Structure 1
Amino acid sequence: MEVTDRIASLEQRVQMQEDDIQLLKSALADVVRRLNITEEQQAMQNKKGPTKARPLVQTLPLRTTVNNGTVLPKKPSGSLPSPSGSRKETVSPAAKSTIKRTSSAERVSPGGRRESYGDSKGSRNRTGSTSSSSSGKKNSESKPKEPMFSAEEGYVKMFLRGRPVTMYMPKEQVESYNLEAKVELPAKRLKLEWVYGYRGRDCRSNLYLLPTGETVYFIASVVVLFNVEEQLQRHYTGHNDDVKCLAVHPDRITIATGQVAGTSKDGKQLPPHVRVWDSVTLNTLHVIGMGFFDRAVTCIAFSKSNGGSSLCSVDDSNDHVLSVWDWQKEEKLADVKCSNEAVFAADFHPTDTNIIVTCGKSHLYFWTLEGNSLVKKQGLFEKQEKPKFVLCVTFSENGDTITGDSSGNILIWGKGTNRISHAVQGAHEGGIFALCMLRDGTLVSGGGKDRKLISWNGNYQKLHKTEIPEQFGPIRTVAEGKGDVVLIGTTRNFVLQGTLSGDFFPITQGHTDELWGLAVHSSKPQFFTCGHDKHITLWDATTHRPIWNKIVEDPAQSSGFHPSASVVAVGTLTGRWFVFDTETKDLVTVHTDGNEQLSVMRYSP
């Protein structure tokens, strides 16, 4: 055992040294990026003529667009955020199915790399898997509904995710309007300035701190790189539909993200896939799994001990297929049916490249990669009561596997075995949604029902305990920040920052259900949103923070400011509409018009 322990200790030291080297590399890459931005800014200023000197922190991040991403500053003037130009499509429920194509179709990405949408090195050839789609023919024949124009009623009706959206036009345009007429696109293009929100309600392990000081997470089809100290955002916009998972390479520069099935500009279905990209340049490096994954990619992880050359993933098919890839060659090494039930996490063992651990509903599996196959060993709970859900997994410094489950227990599985070596019974009241091993060997667990963040020493003795306020919701994921800072993502779509011994405050927040209502203030850098989560919020576009938030009785669908902006009207799904004072957020009046949803709320100018 002494020899084994010494080898494990040496492996840890080598890994720490490699991490330090990669940290220096990433820091150098960030310096080069900032220098390039400064040079570009100086060149632009020289063209425009002399300007007043500004502090470096304001002048550094120019609004510079790069491949599959944007680099944009917080504007001192507080101009309103513009819609994302990258999110050009929306996926219908029918789009979330398997795509099978016999002929190869290709397109060229913004970065200039060729992407195959048909048969490729990672084409669908599953081992013992069952397709979740009804038929390839049905998929190929499904078409989005065409827009409709009613001259009598004076509206155009389009379909968004299969749902009709009616837009009434000015009366003077009704007679001359032609639905078939093609209009040239505007010469100017929108640039993504700021993204509000975080997806924590139904996604896990999607929050990390990069060596550049940026917090990386995703919402909708955009991956956000947010520098909290400088209040700057950059965006990776290479995906064409919702991102569902994220992993950071051991070099802490390369990132992989997986998405759901998407839709092209002409309504054709695009398969789910994984994109591997550079977090400094925002360039796409590789696209993996076109035509292989089903519905969505829900779990993803890089290997650790072999320099991160392998990547594992789990899709959202009926069989939740686990696959292993050589991501640099874009080649699939092995795949296997993982489980008929939901899979919540998949990760490589930190010291054994051939070991992958998956967990989910009613299962914990230890997989061994042997050639082109994956061999499964089931975790044996023995005397321990088997939980309904194994919710999360991480690893200790000595290579033990640590799991958190729906019974509130933390279980430690001995390195190289599938048996429990230690158990922390009742660590939390209710499920443990997140586990994070800090650099100093401290284990941090995050509870769902109890909303508690607890730290544990190497002997699994409790060190600190803090409770997250109820308004933020249950803890979904935990990540290590800078110094003693801890980052938390919650199921109510908050990203919190704080310390184990102190308080936590939100750095990002958004709605938790469909967002349909948006109104812009006529004179101030403010805007108003309302959604099906029954939350209505007035935002400051300068600070990117809410001015006030209020909960209404019904799911909200639409909103509109009075011309004076002193009040704002909110329409709901039930036919009721409210008017609120924008200064005090007090309810001014409430009315009911029928029982149908109110899609548009506008004041006469």
Structure 2
Amino acid sequence: MYIPSNIQNHDDQKPELPSERLQLEWVYGCRGRDSRCHLRALQSGEVIYFTACVIVLCHVTRGTQRHFLRHTDCIRCLAVHPDGVRVASGQTAGVDKDGKPMVYIWDSCTLLILHQIGLGFFERGVGCLAFSTADSGSFLCVVDDSNEHVLSVWDTVRGSKIAETKCTNEPVLCVAFNPVDSGNIVTVGKSHVHFWTWSGVTLTKKQGIFGKYKKPRYVQCLLFDRTGDVLTGDSEGQILTWGRSAADTRTLGRGAKDTYQIVRHTRAHDGSVLSLCALRGGSVVSSGGKDRRLVLWSETLSQIKEREIPEQFGAVRSIAEGSGGELLVGTTKNALLSGSLELGFTPIIQGHTDELWGLATHPSQNIFLTCGHDKQLCVWNGNEHTLSWGCVLEDPGLCADFHPSGRVACVGLTTGRWMVLDMLSRCTLSVHSDGNEQLSVVRYSTDGNFLAVGSHDNVIYIYNTGQRDRSRDSSQEERDSSQEEGDSPHLESDGSMNRYESRDREWATYTCVLGYHVFGVWPEGSDGTDINSLARSRGLSLVSVADDFCKVHLFRYPCNKPKAPSHVYSGHGSHVTNVRFTHDDSHLISLGGKDASIFQWRVVGGGSMPRSQSLSSSSSLDAAP
């Protein structure tokens, strides 16, 4: 790297942090594709759900979000205390050095942690958990993801463990306390229903017997109805009612409490029953996987009405009743819907369902475009926090860029094909192919007359669209091939000039992760693959970096000192694949890779941070203890 002639290298100058910070404003999507207990309602009127390492508290009518950001790895489950305020949330161990399975019990009003439990006790992750209700939520039951799926009971006031036992070698998918007797606990999972009697430090198991009914491959959900019976939904499309019967002291021993047997079989859905929800009026709502139906049942499980969820949203994975009686549903395609069986459902939150890489921000509006391995192309309104429109690509999308006019956008695919889309008509204007390897980057020049297409075949293809190239004096193109782990991105000339002669070149945009102006962003000892994306602000004062360690960084620009300090922000649960500033530098968009999450950060000025931010995010220098 050659030092630009207009920069004096002051070795004694200490690199500084930027005065600006990032504040998480909005999270797009929720984790519904593989999480069963990810959606609940709070006393505040907010709906609570999670994605990646973030728990979102969304007020649907006000259109606001708050965020709990204390988890260090991906969240797997949550439960709401009977008071509608306290929350318990559990995470996986993950791959991050700080990621260890644990449960936080915290206050949803203040976002303050009340207890951290299970650190060093839980193995691999926390699979499911539930508060007791008979005694005002004094206890929390947790099942971890160890080989034995250990079942444990905790005191929610002291944060101490009371009892534990090995549950089963098979996956456990759901747990619940009897609402009128905390001494009875039920767990369900692969081919089993277990009824537990808890007394003091002892947990005793009684296995549910299916008898004449077909034993399902999975029992996926459960609830207690008003009579105290247990309802389970399974992979055979059945709702089984397990009624209470007198204890058999010959098999359970003296002092055993009541046990359960199947008293009713209800054929509910084609395919799996994914979720069950008891409504305040006593009726029950179930959701099906294959048929995507929501069905309302009476207390005696007579069908009242049903509604099919549109295919674009997927099946319903989780159901909650809102404060106004509306139904809130989280789907397998990571969407959150609100509505009723009578009037239908509208999306509140939508998201991608697979690994994300492609990101482009509009040149003059708070609009951005994303694409990924799920073959979905989505155009988002950053002001309204909504999906403006989307379409299905023929192949996974890896990169994108807006034309300077904002009227069209180019999207590069994994197959070497790229396409140009009209943003108004939403039609495909043209499709081209360069080689048969994946495309890493597409860029329009600042005046829109050239399009550069960077491929994994180590060739940059430049198309004449009627104007000039991307650098301000129109003689070079910037190449960024950092979209694939193992590549070391670099700046290449077009052959007419060498790097020394181009050291003073002014770049209209800067997304190349190597260069004199940004070499300070690299961590010491890096192998050259740790940074996936870099973006300089339009105002030339900031540079943001997306890394392999689930972090978003904010540096001062230029960042040309080793070990430059940065504000570091957590929340993504996977490698962060892309970052871009919006047209006016008011926001930064970041993409999670395998967690399929999209974060919209507000860029705030120097000085003290807002209290809500100090409670829900951290930097490398001022992280809360």
Q: TM-score, normalised by structure 2?
A: 0.66
In structure 2, the CA distance between the partners of 1:565 and 1:176, relative to structure 1 (3 Å rule), is farther
The CA RMSD over aligned residues, in Å, is 2.2
Structure 1 residue 335, shift from structure 2 partner: 2.1
In structure 2, the CA distance between the partners of 1:209 and 1:177, relative to structure 1 (3 Å rule), is farther
| SS of corresponding position for 2:312 | helix
Do residues 203 (structure 1) and 44 (structure 2) align? no
Match of 2:476 in 1: none
Match of 2:378 in 1: 537
Match of 2:440 in 1: 599
In structure 2, the CA distance between the partners of 1:409 and 1:324, relative to structure 1 (3 Å rule), is same
- Unmatched segments (≥5 aa) in structure 2: 245-257, 447-625
CA distance in 1, matches of 2:144, 2:441: 38
Structure 2 counterparts to residues 354-503 of structure 1, below 5 A: 354-415=183-244, 416-424=258-266, 426-503=267-344
Give the counterpart of 1:566 among 392, 397, 407: 407
User: CA contact under 8 A between 2:72 and 2:100: conserved in structure 1?
Assistant: no
Structure 1 residue 494, shift from structure 2 partner: 1.1
Which residue identity lines up with residue 218 of structure 1 in the other structure?
A: F
Structure 1 residue 460, shift from structure 2 partner: 1.3
Structure 2 counterparts to residues 148-167 of structure 1, below 5 A: none
CA distance in 1, matches of 2:72, 2:17: 20
Instruction: After superposing the two structures, state which structure 1 stretch, 395-404 or 184-193, moved more.
Output: 184-193
CA distance in 2, matches of 1:262, 1:393: 28
CA distance in 2, matches of 1:475, 1:463: 19
Match of 1:31 in 2: none
Structure 1 residue 262, shift from structure 2 partner: 5.0
In structure 2, the CA distance between the partners of 1:312 and 1:527, relative to structure 1 (3 Å rule), is same
1:66-109: CA deviations, max 9, x gaps?
Answer: xxxxxxxxxxxxxxxxxxxxxxxxxxxxxxxxxxxxxxxxxxxx
- Unmatched segments (≥5 aa) in structure 1: 1-150, 155-170
Structure 1 residue 466, shift from structure 2 partner: 1.1
Structure 2 counterparts to residues 117-156 of structure 1, below 5 A: none
CA distance in 2, matches of 1:280, 1:598: 46
Higher relative contact order, structure no. (Cα contacts within 8 Å, ≥ 6 residues apart):
2
Give the counterpart of 2:23 among 191, 195, 199: 191
1:346-381: CA deviations, max 9, x gaps?
Answer: 111111112211111111111122332321111111
Greater share of residues in strand: 2
Match of 2:148 in 1: 319
CA distance in 1, matches of 2:111, 2:195: 34
Greater share of residues in helix: 1
| SS of corresponding position for 1:194 | strand
In structure 2, the CA distance between the partners of 1:271 and 1:553, relative to structure 1 (3 Å rule), is same
CA distance in 1, matches of 2:435, 2:119: 47
In structure 2, the CA distance between the partners of 1:350 and 1:598, relative to structure 1 (3 Å rule), is same
Do residues 295 (structure 1) and 295 (structure 2) align? no
Whose radius of gyration is greater, 1 or 2?
2
Which residue identity lines up with residue 428 of structure 2 in the other structure?
A: L
Structure 1 residue 516, shift from structure 2 partner: 1.7
Structure 1 residue 482, shift from structure 2 partner: 2.7
Which residue identity lines up with residue 22 of structure 2 in the other structure?
A: L
Match of 1:348 in 2: 177
Structure 1 residue 559, shift from structure 2 partner: 1.5
Percent sequence identity over aligned pairs = 51
CA distance in 1, matches of 2:327, 2:67: 23
Structure 1 residue 388, shift from structure 2 partner: 0.9
User: CA contact under 8 A between 2:54 and 2:67: conserved in structure 1?
Assistant: yes
In structure 2, the CA distance between the partners of 1:312 and 1:459, relative to structure 1 (3 Å rule), is same
Give the counterpart of 1:258 among 68, 85, 90: 90
The alignment covers a number of residue pairs equal to 430
In structure 2, the CA distance between the partners of 1:176 and 1:430, relative to structure 1 (3 Å rule), is farther
Give the counterpart of 1:589 among 416, 420, 430: 430
User: CA contact under 8 A between 1:521 and 1:527: conserved in structure 2?
Assistant: yes
| SS of corresponding position for 1:488 | strand
CA distance in 1, matches of 2:60, 2:229: 34
CA distance in 1, matches of 2:111, 2:58: 13
Which residue identity lines up with residue 221 of structure 1 in the other structure?
A: C
CA distance in 2, matches of 1:209, 1:532: 31
Which residue identity lines up with residue 307 of structure 2 in the other structure?
A: T
